[in-house]
């Protein structure tokens, strides 16, 4: 039950970040929203494992945290320098 409540809270948080990503006046609001949704994804993958009764996939959540980093870096580099190289 605790996991379900936590999962509901994370889903509401994702919804709020999504609103920020859709409305966000500046690019940085949107980048922050993507990054925050990424971290919420990590948490939610972990929670889903416990909700479904299969917590063996917890390590997958760790790998998500690593992936989340790459896209944010690329976007920030593009915004700052107008190129990737």
| Contact positions vs other proteins (CB under 8 A) | 4, 7, 11, 14-15, 18, 21-22, 24, 27, 30-31, 33-34, 37-38, 41, 44-45, 48-49, 51-52, 54, 57, 60, 63-64, 67-68, 70-71, 74-75, 78-79, 82-84
Write phi, then psi, for 83 (nearest 5 degrees): -155, 170
Q: How many residues does the chain have?
A: 85
- Answer whether 51's CB lies under 8 Å from 3's CB: yes
Instruction: Output DSSP code: residue 41.
Output: H
Residue for token pair 């996991």: 3
Q: How far is the CB of 27 from other proteins (least distance, A)?
A: 6
Q: How far is the CB of 4 from other proteins (least distance, A)?
A: 6
């Amino acid at each position: 039950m605790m996991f379900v409540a936590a999962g509901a809270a994370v889903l509401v948080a994702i919804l709020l970040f999504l609103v920020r990503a859709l409305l966000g006046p500046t690019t940085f609001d949107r980048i922050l929203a993507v990054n925050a949704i990424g971290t919420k994804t990590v948490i939610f993958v972990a929670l889903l494992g416990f909700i479904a009764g299969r917590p063996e996939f917890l390590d997958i959540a760790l790998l998500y945290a690593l992936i989340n980093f790459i896209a944010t870096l690329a976007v920030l580099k593009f915004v700052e320098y107008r190129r990737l190289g």
